[in-house]
Amino acid sequence: MGALKEYRARVIRNGFAEGIALKSEEPVSFFGCVNPETGVVVEKGHPLEGESIKDRILVFPEGKGSTVGSYSLYRMKKNNTAPRAIINRLCEPIVAVGAIISDIPCVDNIDISKINSGDRIVIREGYVFVDKDG
């Protein structure tokens, strides 16, 4: 655990989560961008196209697209294809509301450049712990 770093974040949806980061430099929409049956990103040309967000700690700058995305996230949670937690640079209402109704821990106000795909992440009480050694 040599490279363990901790960062203070703002809590949008409280809760404990632990998992491996999957990061997108581009905004994410849960409606149309992700297949809710599989959790695989299907949006053409998206940096995460073909990746599964299921059980990952999903890190992206902000949400985009239709407000129906909140319901899509709820659907994914029920299908067991949702991410374990969401980390945003700045959370917008579609993602915030989606995380709340789906009981998915969600934080923002954090420098996401400190996190890369594959890092081991723990989210607890408004802190994000990042382990670079996996």
Partner 1 sequence: MHLTKKEKNMLEGCEGRGIQRAMEVLSALGKIYNAERLIPVESVQVSGVSFKNLGDAGLEFLEDWAETGVKARVKAFLNPAGMDLMDWRKLGFPEKFAVKQLRLIDVFKGMGLEPQCTCTPYLAGNKPELGEHVAWSESSAVSYANSVLGARTNRESSISALSSALTGLTPEYGLHLDVNRRADYVVDVRPSIRSASDYSALGYMVGKRVGGRIPYFRGLFNPSPDQLKSLGAAMAASGSVAMYHVENVTPEANPDSIKKDTPVLEIEDLAEGYRELNSKTRVIDLVSIGCPHASMEELEEISSLLEGEKVKTALWITTSRYVKQKAEGSGLLDRIQDSGAVVVSDTCMVVAPVEELGFKSMATDSGKMAFYVPSHCGLRVRFGSLRQCINSALSGRWEP
Taking the complex as a whole, the smallest distance from the CB of residue 120 to partner 1 amounts, in Å, to 27
Strands, E, within the chain: which ranges? 4-8, 10-13, 17-23, 57-60, 85-88, 106-108, 120-124, 127-131
Could you confirm whether 66 is annotated as catalytic? yes
First to last CA, the chain: 9
- Looking at 5, 8, 10, 114, which residue binds partner 1 (CB under 8 A)? 10
Catalytic residue among 24, 66, 70, 117: 66
Considering the complex, state which of residue 96 and residue 115 has its C-beta at the smaller distance from partner 1: 96
Pick the closest to residue 124 from 7, 10, 17, 5 (CA basis). 17
Q: Per CB under 8 A, does 8 bind partner 1?
A: no
Residues that bind partner 1 in the complex, under the rule CB under 8 A: 10, 12-13, 36, 67-68, 70-72, 74-75, 78, 91-94, 96-97, 100-101
